[in-house]
Amino acid sequence: MKVAFLGLGIMGRPMASNLAKAGHEVAVWNRTPGKDVPGTRATASPAEAASGAEVVWMCVSDTKAVETVLFGPNGVEQSLMEGMIVVDSSTISPAATRRFAERVKARGVAYVDAPVTGSKVAAEGGTLVFMVGGDQAAIDRLGPLFAAMGKKIVRMGETGKGHAAKLVMNLQIALIYEGFAEALTLAVKLGVETPALLQLIESSMVRSGVVEYKAPFILKRDFSPNFPLRLMHKDIRLALEAAKDARVKLPALETVEEIYEMATEDGHENLDYAATLTLLEKWAGVEVKGASA
């Protein structure tokens, strides 16, 4: 298929690359030039990339970025043609998504929100899980593209529901990780060895995908960004915003949001969100280590 891929960050670059490897004709665009992807055609604007494309796929930072890419100067809107599908794999506001969708639908264009779970490793390996909102017919047409980038798609409902599902997924990841980080910190303080605790977690109902994925990085003290803290912080805020609109109280997430705020003040926003552990360590005066010191 002819695809325009917009946004070549940690996630977008490998996704565009996997589309090209699967034989699709891919035109790419990134706000900051110079991020070429082998097997694709670089373009100078979202409008140029989208021109003549069957599908326009976005993966950019936040709600504002999606709005700019779609409707800003030289935006996708200029090149919309009836029958096209716009897909958004960024994680952004569900309410804004519904507004964007209305605006492109008026031009005969379908809008599918398709955020992902799986992080950088899954983006590179083509094993992302997509949670998707939109018309079934449009989603079906996207089948070969989803197959090139992911291992599973789950339809959550109409447009906007993919993003809504993503927010509640990241709410859980943030809370599970914070629980793990607090447990590790207290364990060190109480003299329990981290490797022994990890072994115990693995053999109990406390085990989880989040712990499994993050533990090896923590043991190596590797906080380089798989999922940057600033983006998880954005998602926590989006979830709190959606909760406020829906009159739902989320006390645990509110507290975790404060930790992200303080981690940002400490200059950790571009590290992985796993670096929130370092704040707990600082407060406790300990460091989580792989083996006994």
Known catalytic residues are 166
Q: How far is the CB of 7 from ligand NA7 (least distance, A)?
A: 4
Q: How far apart are CA 35 and CA 8, in angstroms?
A: 7
Closer of 112 and 197 to ligand NA7 (Cβ):
112
Closer of 175 and 206 to ligand NA7 (Cβ):
175
Binding part of the chain for ligand NA7, among 16-24, 63-71, 213-221, 256-264 by CB under 6 A, reads 63-71
Residues 217-256 that bind ligand NA7 (CB under 6 A): 231, 235
Q: How far apart are CA 226 and CA 121, in angstroms?
A: 8
Contact status, residue 232 vs residue 274, Cβ threshold 8 Å: no
Does residue number 277 form part of the binding site for ligand NA7 (CB under 6 A)? no
Q: Of 1, 2, 10, 221, which lies in the binding site for ligand NA7, with binding defined by CB under 6 A? A: 10
Alpha helices (H) along the chain: 12-21, 46-50, 63-71, 94-105, 119-125, 136-141, 143-149, 161-189, 194-202, 209-219, 229-245, 251-265, 276-284
Q: How far is the CB of 50 from ligand NA7 (least distance, A)?
A: 14
Q: How far apart are CA 285 and CA 267, in angstroms?
A: 19
Does residue number 30 form part of the binding site for ligand NA7 (CB under 6 A)? yes
Q: Which two tokens stand for residue 218?
A: 């923590």
Does residue number 90 form part of the binding site for ligand NA7 (CB under 6 A)? yes
Q: In a 10 Å sphere around its CB, with 0-12 CB exposed, 13-18 middle and 19+ buried, how is residue 99 labelled?
A: exposed
Closer of 89 and 185 to ligand NA7 (Cβ):
89
Q: Of 3, 4, 5, 11, which lies in the binding site for ligand NA7, with binding defined by CB under 6 A? A: 11
Q: How far is the CB of 25 from ligand NA7 (least distance, A)?
A: 21
Instruction: Name the residue with tokens 């670059």.
Output: 13
Q: How far is the CB of 85 from ligand NA7 (least distance, A)?
A: 18
Q: How far is the CB of 60 from ligand NA7 (least distance, A)?
A: 4
Q: Which residues bind ligand NA7 (CB under 6 A)?
A: 7-12, 30-32, 59-62, 64-65, 68-69, 90-91, 231, 235
